[in-house]
Amino acid sequence: MKIIPNLSVDCVVFGFDLTKLNILLTKRELRDPETDALLFTDYTLQGHHVLENEDLDNAANRVLKEKTGLDSIFLEQFHTFGDTDRIKNPKDMLWVKNIYPTVTNQVITVGYYSLVNSAKIHPDKKHEDTMWFPAENLPELGFDHAEIIDKALSCLRIKLSREPIGFELLPEKFTLSQLQILYEAVLGRKYDRRNFRKKITQLKYIIPLDEKQTGVAHKPAQVFIFSKDVYERTKKDKLGFPI
């Protein structure tokens, strides 16, 4: 199926490994078509041009399915990037000339961010150049993907401070320490342990289980689950942290 040359989607895939926030990136490598000499290497977001007769959400879900193998991933559109000079870097111009010769310098990209449990993503041989990087220590990026990531992170922080979407990044069962580390990693601030736990235990949709961690070297902690059904019934008790 043909692509729409000047319309694309880019997905900022956030993951959490219980210690830090990560972003899924794919290595981009361009070689000289005549000599096979390596011209440059960098990394890009998960993205692609929109296909003819394909809506934006379907395009984003297609990209995520191909790169992660997962269905029903949390996905939210957050911004449109349409500057006329988005493809101005010499290496990006060279990439477009060699890979997408029908594309001009003015490409409109619709940005999405996605939240996944990173433990569920294991890139296969087809995507062996796709890997996780710490959000605070990213490699050299192509196009304007650094700007897209910054905007996605800003939108994620606002959303996370208003709604309990962070549970998309956690395993089904988690400890309060893991939850606190998640919020600190995303929001970029520290919380007092006692005050954080006091606030969390007041929320009806964070349910304690009659079990503890297993397979840990330290004293096992109690585990909890997030109940979306309870949250929908008690939205007035939103998990809100002022930034």
Q: What does the pLDDT look like over 150-173, one tens digit per residue? A: 999 999 999 998 889 999 999 999
pLDDT, average across residues 195-209: 91
Q: Which CATH number fits domain 172-237: 3.40.50.2300, 3.20.20.70, 1.20.1050.90, 1.10.10.10?
A: 1.10.10.10
Rounded to an integer, the average pLDDT of 173-184 is 95
pLDDT over threshold 90, residue 183: yes
Other beta carbons within 10 angstroms of residue 155's beta carbon come to 17
Tokens of 32: 């000289």
At 233 the pLDDT is 84
Q: Which residues pair with 106 in a beta bridge?
A: none
User: Token pair for residue 123?
Assistant: 């890139």
pLDDT of 28 above 50:
yes
Choose between 216 and 79: higher pLDDT: 79
Average predicted confidence (pLDDT) for the chain? 89
* Residue 101: partners with Cβ closer than 8 Å, 6 or more residues away: none
DSSP element (H, E) containing 42: strand 38-44
- Rounded CA-CA distance 145/205 in Å is 36
Q: Is the pLDDT of residue 101 over 90?
A: no
Residue 129 has pLDDT above 60, yes or no: yes
**φ, ψ for residue 177, nearest 5 deg:** -65, -40
Q: Across 4-13, 68-77, 115-124, which has the greatest mean pLDDT?
A: 4-13
Q: pLDDT class for 51, splitting at 50, 70, 90? A: very high
* Distance of alpha carbon 213 from alpha carbon 222, whole angstroms: 6
Q: Phi/psi class of residue 32: alpha, beta or left (left: φ > 0; alpha: ψ in -120 to 50)? A: beta
Give the model's pLDDT for residue 234.
78
Q: Where are the domains of the chain?
A: 3-160, 172-237
Query: Measured between alpha carbons, how far is 222 from 209 in angstroms, rounded to an integer?
Result: 7
Which pLDDT does position 69 carry in this prediction? 83
CA distance 91 to 93: 5
Mapped onto helix, strand or coil, the DSSP state of residue 88 is coil
CA distances from 29 to 2, 32, 99, 221 (A): 23, 10, 11, 45
Q: Which of 26, 40, 35 is nearest to 94 (CA)?
A: 40
- Confidence label for 213 from pLDDT (cuts 50, 70 and 90): confident
Which whole number is the average pLDDT over 223-237? 85
Would you state the pLDDT for residue 214?
A: 75
Q: Are strands 46-51 and 222-226 parallel, antiparallel or unpaired?
A: unpaired
User: Two tokens at 203?
Assistant: 């929320």
Q: What is the mean pLDDT of residues 178-186?
A: 95
Q: Can you tell me the mean pLDDT for 35-47?
A: 94
Look at residue 80 and give its three-state secondary structure.
Answer: strand
Asked if residue 61 has pLDDT above 70, the reply is: yes
Q: Do domains 3-160 and 172-237 have the same CATH topology?
A: no
Residue 238 pLDDT: 54
- Architecture in CATH of 3-160: Alpha-Beta Complex (3.90)
Q: Is the pLDDT of residue 84 over 60?
A: yes
Q: Which residue shows structure tokens 């010769």?
A: 101
pLDDT at 45 > cutoff 70: yes
Of the ranges 31-45, 99-113, 140-154, which one carries the lowest mean pLDDT score?
99-113
What is the distance, to the nearest Å, from the Cα of residue 131 to the centroid of all Cα atoms in its chain? Answer: 12
Terminal alpha carbon distance of the chain: 45
